[in-house]
Amino acid sequence: MDAERRGLLMVAVQRDSMPVLLICLVLVGIGLVMVYSSSSVLAAVRFGDSSLFLKKQSIRVLIGITLMLGLAQVPMHWWARFSRLIMLLAFFLLLLVLAWGQGPAQRWLSFPGVNLGIAVQPSEFAKLAMVLYLADVLVRKRDDIHRFRRGLLPRLLVVACVLVLIALQPDLGTAIALGLIALVMLWVGGVRLQHLVGAGLVASLGIALSLATSRYQMQRLRSFVDPEGDPDGYYQVLQSLYGLGSGGFFGVGLGNSMQKEQYLPEPHTDFVFAFVGEEFGLVGTMVVLALFAAFAFYGLRIGRESGDAHGYLVATGITAMISIYALLNIGVATGLLPTTGLPLPFVSYGGSSLMGNMAGVGILLGVARSAAAGSKRSGRNDRMVRARR
């Protein structure tokens, strides 16, 4: 690579990393505003403090920013070296949550002896672990990945184990989201299309089995297919659509939402996008959509310009991780998809999701930093060689 091309590469990756950071921070800022606006009534009625959820989320944001900036400094070869260990830790946490999980669907782990209301959602850690694992293994096994039995099947079994453990919580929405992320990475990593189609068909059978054995999952699907036949099951989506529709073009104004008056249950979590539409109208929703589209554009461009197969796959996986979650959440809030229970990245209330996504952004920034540092180091070596001559 000549000096001019290296210089252009270094400028490009540094140029793309700044928009990614700014978009992340803007979405987090929007999230804080919407968490407070949507949860103030609920927090006041239930806890006597209208800003309770804002305070908790603000602390998580500060931790998330620290984590993001710290992970941005980690060399990329560390993620490759420890990816299998990280994946094993994710397996351990997913098994642990099946035995000692808390919450309505046993998706959270609380630390023993810690009475601070701190709980983590292992599936949020598992999605990032899976991205790092697949990025590493697709590079290490690049010569065998076209062979199904020797190259692809062992990787599919690892992914399948992750998805099954999450689906058993039960959390079918997260399992489907992680399956889509895995398919994107496998496709980008060079897996044959017919193998991916076969894997998708097997996954579809698994989804059908989960629906057949879970009453509440089947009820959600029936409510989506026939809302009039089960108005109670479609209630959240219906209220979300009311909110989006009443916002009009410019919205009813910040803090003036009617849906937060306890019409929409837990308004600050999965359906926060509806409050963006109600209070800021079509303009507000389009701004949020544009921010996620811009994040996907710059994230993929960081991967393309990383000059390294591992960095390319990590950047693609993290970008897909955040983009797929955003699409699924917005699809549910607008009534285009069945309810999945997935948060809107950076915007919805929740610590595990926020920190997991900000950790992913930190690693994505690390891809850009490593590419720029590698280009600079290569240029310096070339100058030394020319000087010796």
- Give the tens place of pLDDT for each residue, 205-216: 999 998 888 888
pLDDT for 12: 57
3-state secondary structure of 230: coil
- Give the tens place of pLDDT for each residue, 20-73: 999 999 999 999 999 999 999 889 988 999 999 999 999 999 999 999 999 999
Helix (H) or strand (E) holding 367: helix 351-388
Question: Contact, 219 vs 355, CB < 8 A?
Answer: no
- Give the tens place of pLDDT for each residue, 304-322: 988 889 999 999 999 999 9
Spatial CA neighbour of 187 closest among 179, 198, 196: 196
Percent of the chain scoring above 70 in pLDDT? 88
DSSP states of 115-176: -S--EE-HHHHHHHHHHHHHHHHHHHTTTTTTSIIIIIHHHHHHHHHHHHHHHTTT-HHHHH
pLDDT for 234: 77
Mean per-residue pLDDT over the chain, rounded:
87
pLDDT for 341: 85
pLDDT for 18: 92
- CA 49 → CA 28, 40, 143, 258, distances in Å? 22, 8, 59, 19
384: pLDDT confidence band, cut at 50, 70 and 90?
Answer: very low
The pair of structure tokens assigned to 99 is 């035995």
Spatial CA neighbour of 141 closest among 127, 156, 126: 156
Phi, psi for residue 341 in degrees, rounded to 5: 80, 15
Burial (Cβ within 10 Å: 0-12, 13-18, ≥19) of residue 37: buried
Question: Contact, 23 vs 319, CB < 8 A?
Answer: no
Percent of the chain scoring above 90 in pLDDT? 62
Mean pLDDT within 131-158: 92
- Strands (DSSP E) found in 62-127: 109-110, 119-120
Which residues are CB-neighbours of 136 under 8 A, at least 6 positions away?
A: 79, 80, 83, 84, 310
| C-alpha gyration radius of the chain | 22
What b/e string do you get for 129-145 counting C-beta neighbours within 10 Å, with b at 16 or more? bbbbbbbbbbbebeeeb
Burial (Cβ within 10 Å: 0-12, 13-18, ≥19) of residue 168: middle
Helix 76-100, helix 351-388: angle, nearest 10: 160
By residue count, the chain amounts to 389
118: pLDDT confidence band, cut at 50, 70 and 90?
Answer: low
Question: Contact, 144 vs 150, CB < 8 A?
Answer: yes
Instruction: Indicate whether 175 pLDDT > 80.
Output: yes
Helix (H) or strand (E) holding 274: helix 272-304
pLDDT for 8: 53
pLDDT for 244: 92
Which residue has 């850690």 as its token pair? 125
The pair of structure tokens assigned to 296 is 């996907």
3-state secondary structure of 110: strand
CA distance 18 to 76: 18
Neighbours of 304 (CB within 10 A): 15
